[in-house]
Amino acid sequence: MIAPIFVGHGSPLMAIQNTPCTEFLLDYGSKLAPKAIVIFTAHWETEVLTISSTDDVYETIYDFGGFPKELYQIQYPAKGSTQLAHTLAARFQAKGIRVNLDTTRGLDHGSWVPLSRMFPQPECPVIQISVHPYLPPAEQYRIGEALRGLDQEDILIVGSGATVHNLRAINWNAVEPDAWAVAFDDWLIAGIEQSNLDALFHYDTLAPNARMAVPRPEHFVPLYLAMGSGDPQRQAKVIHRSYEVGSLSYLALSF
């Protein structure tokens, strides 16, 4: 059994820098041997849930600009699985969730950056799934629920995004996390550990500093997708917490 997780993928630089978060990812991944990985990425937005469907090696997409040349030379040669993609599609459709299959898109940095730190040498199929950032949190959770039980098949489900992701609030001179970002994460952690779904589904009006932390929800909704896919009888827990540039959160949780 491999519990679903949410990870903060932060800056693309985490692919080439050693930080507390990358050390955590490497250690965590070294203890796992998934048969496949299913990853919801904040960097693939579609109105209809879309699943990558290929048996080939993915193209590594460099969907960012202005970073060191070294970053653009990284290749993450993970393969897909059309068989698993169709299995996932059937699960979603059984819950009345519309699905498209995509046969050409590569892995964006919301996928390959954290996966390259968890599993430097890809050894199992990877299935990438898009997000619709403007569906309500309760609906995101319901989408995740369609994948419940895959943990019992040793399929790792990953929500890749960030709980606090406001690039306009970055403080390059910060030596400690910004108090407002910590307060938002504290509120989230308490709600998750207490399984207070009603509050979590209304984070935008209940959580402190919600608009600062989540100015746009594309990085935040993978949290609900991963949470929904977990076993509700299992205690959710924080597996890593660190910050960069004041407020960029690398909070990671297992469900």
How high is the mean pLDDT in each 10-residue block of the chain (255 residues)? 95 93 97 98 98 98 93 96 98 98 97 98 97 98 98 97 94 92 98 97 98 97 98 96 95 98
Query: From its phi and psi, is residue 92 left (phi > 0), alpha (psi between -120 and 50) or beta?
Result: alpha
Letter string b/e over residues 70-103, b meaning 16 or more CB atoms within 10 A of that residue's CB: ebeeeebebebbbebbebbbebbeeeebebeebe
Q: Around 156, how many Cα atoms within 13 Å sit in the side-chain half-sphere?
A: 23
Residue type, 81: S
Give me the residue spans of the domains in the chain. 5-254
- Counting other chains too, the contacts that 23-28 makes at CB distance below 8 Å and 24 or more residues apart are 24/239, 24/240, 24/242, 24/252, 25/114, 25/117, 25/118, 25/240, 26/117, 26/118, 26/120, 28/118, 28/239, 28/240
Contact between residue 119 and residue 42 where contact means Cβ atoms under 8 Å apart: no
Confidence at residue 223, expressed as pLDDT on a 0 to 100 scale = 98
Count of C-beta atoms within a 10 Å radius of residue 181: 25
CA 43 – CA 64 distance, rounded (Å): 10
**Which of 247, 241, 249 is CA-nearest to residue 20?**
241
CA 146 – CA 39 distance, rounded (Å): 14
Please, what is the Cα angle at 62 between 61 and 67, to 5 degrees?
165
Residue with tokens 């977990």: 230
Rg of the chain in Å (alpha carbons): 17
Which CATH architecture fits 5-254? Answer: 3-Layer(aba) Sandwich (3.40)
Assigned token pair, 239: 């597996």
Residue type, 111: S
CA 42 – CA 110 distance, rounded (Å): 6
Confidence at residue 10, expressed as pLDDT on a 0 to 100 scale = 82
Q: How far is CA 176 from CA 157, 179, 182, 183, in A?
A: 31, 9, 10, 13
The pTM assigned to this predicted structure is: 0.95
